[in-house]
Amino acid sequence: MTLYPLALRLEGRTVLVVGGGAVATRRVPALLDAGAHVVVVAPQLTPALQALASADRLRWEPRRFEPSDVDDAWLVQVAVDDPVAAAEVSEAAEERRVFCVRADDRTRATAWTPAVTRHGPVTVAVLGGGDPRRAMVVRDAIRDGLVDGTLESAAPLAPVAEATPGRVALVGSGPGDPELITVKGRRLLARADVVVADRLVPGLLLDELRPDVELVDASKIPYGPAKAQEEINRILVDRARAGHFVVRLKGGDPYVFGRGGEELIACAEAGVPVTVVPGVTSSIAAPAAAGIPVTHRGVAHEFTVVSGHVAPDNPLSLVDWSALARMRGTLVVLMGLKNLPAIAATLLTHGRPAATPAAVVQEGTTGAQRVLRSTLGDVVDEVAAAGIRPPAVVVFGNVVDALATTLPARRGDQT
């Protein structure tokens, strides 16, 4: 079969996704990144897709597919494994002359999804003539060549010791921008048999997985559905013992409020070898993306990173907020948006000046980044008025204004 390759401009155009499982979780981020108006029709969604729906990044119709759903679509993605249901969708698309991608049977689709890699402004899409593995090998070779500047031949990559069967890799995927994962992390991800992913991992990385990779959505949506950590540990151990190479893909760094230590201990106790690949932590990257250095000569020679998911007045809190109020350096709070009123009040009570510069960076390093600059005394009211939502990083200290006079306004700056 001779195919006609084409790049679609989907910005502002409706794309229908039928199905709310692992396949949809992998495909939707790329559609959103292209600016598409994504409509998902499915009785249920994975936690990752639920988070996108709650943030109004996509529209969810919680029901079964109806042929009229195709009426306004420019493209249809069928992400169900029921051949009868998939055929109903593709038949409706065929009648309306809308191209349709089918995850269950590419021979009955009118469009195929290529193996994709992105490097800056360059997007490479590879079709393997119906062989996804061939496409992935060529795509990976091109990607590695783009990364190291050589564009070597498309021969299969050599085996890597850290990616052997029966092993787990704890990989930090960075703060949100898919290009901020480390070279080693991306290399191991390309070799994974099983990927256990958090909600905050860059969605475009999931779009690059081989079609045969098992994707386990281990999303921990704040104050919503969550998998128990023990269940995640069990999945890692069971899949590795079954002879798979398992990548535990985590937002930021595995050891910065990521429970990576608990997962390493669980694997070690089960006799499963583990490789740890550090990641860029949002505690530094999100402020940096907003033009805020956590340290700056003559301004701050220290910074402290704390978790704010437990309120200061909660007996379970392990943070000495009174000591933090007295420090002169930078204070970075992760997972603290819900408890921001209590955190700000506690810092003020223990002597932190109300005029202390403050900033909140929502979805730092991503295209949805928003930045709010304020003061300790006003930040609570201004965050509420602006509708800032998680994930967000809060920064207190003079570094918030350290570069304000030298840097131009950036994309995502709100105030």
Which residues share a beta bridge with 214? 194
Calpha distance 259→75 (Å, rounded): 39
- For tokens 């704010």, name the residue: 308
| Angle between helices 132-148 and 183-190 in degrees, nearest 10 | 170
Annotated catalytic residue: which of 33, 81, 184, 220? 220
Closest C-alpha among 331, 324, 328, 387 to residue 359? 331
In angstroms, the Cα distances linking 236 to 194, 213, 239 are 9, 14, 6
In angstroms, the Cα distances linking 348 to 181, 295, 375 are 37, 22, 11
Determine whether 198 is an active site residue.
Answer: yes
Annotated catalytic residue: which of 198, 207, 217, 253? 198
Tokens representing residue 402 in the block: 């350290």
Report the chain's C-alpha Rg in angstroms. Answer: 23
Closest C-alpha among 276, 234, 272 to residue 254? 276
Tokens representing residue 306 in the block: 């704390």
Catalytic (active-site) positions: 198, 220
